[in-house]
Amino acid sequence: MLGIACSECASIGSYRATSDAFFECLECHHGIIPEDLCLEPSEIWTVNDGGILGSIIDPAESLREMSIAIDEYMEADHDSVGQLQSLRCFRDAVFMLQGALEAGVPYPIVKK
Ligand SMILES: [Zn+2]
């Protein structure tokens, strides 16, 4: 999980959940709601065990990147740099998927 930077004091990973479903910066007490976040389309927000707000890559995006990496691997020349790059992309997507699952995001059901 990547911590969200405070829009007021730039402290990273300092937004903690409050009892009224908001998040408040531990450093400057700036408050936000998840709808205030500007995340990339591939990211989703999450809260860790300590109540800290952060973002992770959407597991559906990780699965999409894994599929692309496999296609690129199959299309690359045997024992080429392209194959190594594809494997690296696949590994990175697996780590992102693992992070999402560890954060409690359900494994996505992908319809064919
Ligand atoms: Zn702050």
Q: pLDDT for 71-95, tens place per residue?
A: 999 999 999 999 999 999 999 999 9
What does the alpha-carbon distance between residue 48 and residue 104 come to, in Å, rounded to a whole number? 9
State whether 47 and 63 are in the same domain.
no
Are both 50 and 67 inside the same structural domain?
A: no
Q: Report how many domains make up the chain.
A: 2
Ligand 1 centroid to residue 54 C-alpha, Å = 14
Is the same domain home to 50 and 71? no
The residue among 14, 43, 33, 13 whose CA lies nearest residue 105 is: 43
Angle at 61 between CA 59 and CA 66, to 5 degrees: 95
The boundaries of the domain holding residue 87 are 59-102
The model's pTM? 0.83
46 shares its domain with 92 = no
Q: Which protein residues have their CB within 5 A of the ion that is ligand 1?
A: 6, 8-9, 11, 25, 27-28, 30
How far lies 81's CA from each of 76, 84, 85, in Å? 8, 5, 6
Q: Is residue 71, in this structure, part of any structural domain at all?
A: yes
The answer to whether residues 66 and 82 belong to one domain is yes
- pLDDT tens for 24-46 read 999 999 999 988 999 999 999 99
**Residues 42 and 73 placed together within one structural domain of the fold:** no
